[in-house]
Chains A and B, each alone.
Chain A
């Protein structure tokens, strides 16, 4: 059974750094992309980026390029999303999900439970 288990909720102050995680199990971690998706309170889904854990090839959404860093450690089947300096506007639920990309077809197959990040002074 494919499972993506995300790290717990975080409460941070503006300017602080943060790294959240997504641990995968039940499939070959290095064979599929993993993506990150933001959902601000009461809003829709926003794609942040994807990473291919086998070689760490990463594609960022232009909206998030330079704002976050996506990484993966294939030795422990875990993907990460990190910020160096949080802003109040980073307050959101963050989801990781496996991403299948074959030619022109794409989909997020399996989703984590989400990590709620709250940034407040």
Chain B
């Protein structure tokens, strides 16, 4: 079965850019989306189709996907961006989630 691998944690200082990666075999040939989940809340879609932002998601969120790695980038990270982040893809009639990355803003 297809697997997506994320680093368990990423730390960033306020105002600095944060990058969260998601790796999988030939991932660049698939479409990826990203969710964030703040403590005690439901997940929220922040990027879909590799690099598109849903309505209401700030412009500081962007995405890319090439080769075996997709990357979610948050420019000018804010304290409110502290959350768990999950990547997700569709493969062989299956939804695949990455294991999640805890983003800490300190």
Interface residues of A (CB under 8 A from B): 35, 37, 44-47, 50, 59, 61-62, 95, 97, 99, 101, 104-109, 111-114
Contact = CB atoms under 8 A, between A and B. Distances in A.
A46 B31 CA distance: 18
A1 B88 CA distance: 24
- Complex A-B, nearest 3 residue pairs according to Cβ-Cβ distance, in ascending order: A106-B90, A47-B95, A44-B100
A37 B100 CA distance: 14
Dominant SS among interface residues on chain B: strand
A47 B98 CA distance: 11
Contacts of B37: 45
Interface string B1-39: 100000000000000000000000000001101010100
B54 A109 contact: yes
A23 to B, nearest CB: 15
Contacts of B45: 107-109
A79 B3 CA distance: 28
17 contacts: A35-B95, A44-B99, A45-B43, A45-B86, A46-B97, A47-B95, A59-B94, A95-B42, A101-B90, A106-B90, A106-B95, A108-B43, A111-B42, A111-B43, A111-B44, A113-B42, A114-B42
Nearest to A101: B90
Nearest to A96: B42
Contacts of B49: 105, 107
A105 to B, nearest CB: 4
Nearest to B44: A111
Contacts of B95: 35, 47, 50, 61, 99, 106
B31 A105 contact: yes
Contact of A106 (B35, B86, B88): B88
Contacts of B1: 62
Contacts of B42: 95, 111-114
A116 to B, nearest CB: 11
B47 to A, nearest CB: 9
